[in-house]
Structure 1
Amino acid sequence: MKRAYFYWVTREQGSFEVMNEVAEYDRDRVIEFHNYCMNSYEEGNARSALITVLRSQQHAKSCMDIVSGTQVNTHFARPNWHKIFKHVAVNQTMRTRELVRVFCCGAPGLTGELRRLAQEFSRKTH
């Protein structure tokens, strides 16, 4: 495996420690980590915008996220799965022509959406 994209979607900031533990094992920087906290702040409001700017600046200086207290960047609101799948498809299949596999767990609505997107992007990139 040359690259992995790991998305952790939660309502509780306390569960971010799990991601930090996984990140510590990624010594070769193979995994691209993303935390999504859905209950903290609404995306697009002034508070979220300010926290996003401060978070980016702090992470650039110290490689620590000020929201989660971990090495993994925190995003607010729900992930835009279509945008995420497009990003992976462009970065992996178009450039390197490598096979991309999707593994997920969660509510049936989420896994169904991810299955549908995986099939859609498989047709678009092969």
Structure 2
Amino acid sequence: MSTPLLPDLDQVLSLNAQLAERYGGERGVSAPEVLRSTLCRPLDRCGGGILDEAAWIFAQILIERPFAGANARTAFAVLDIILRLNGHRIALHPEALLGELRGLCSTHTPDPEQIRLWVHRLVEQPDLF
């Protein structure tokens, strides 16, 4: 099994800045150590492979809110990038996906296990070629 591809800290910071600029919200990081530990966490601590790692990173950004703004947008963009880099695609129609995302983000503290199950359900089988 090959090493999964993940965005690095600089890429995620750039992504957050772009999303905040385009859709509104403050730019920058309010909790740099939280963000660093979220992105640098070894994959083997998740135990379930890239889908669990992607779900964990998504959940941590939603729960810990390490950015000054655009946390939910950045969390989803990072999730999508991780999935795509590793051959997965989101299998939900965009309108259905938006409704589900709003539901996940509307709770005060999203449930990491609910997010993990949601990520497993929403992806297509990986591209093999």
TM-score over 0.5 (shorter chain): no
More strand by share: 1
Structure with higher RCO (Cα < 8 A, 6+ apart): 2
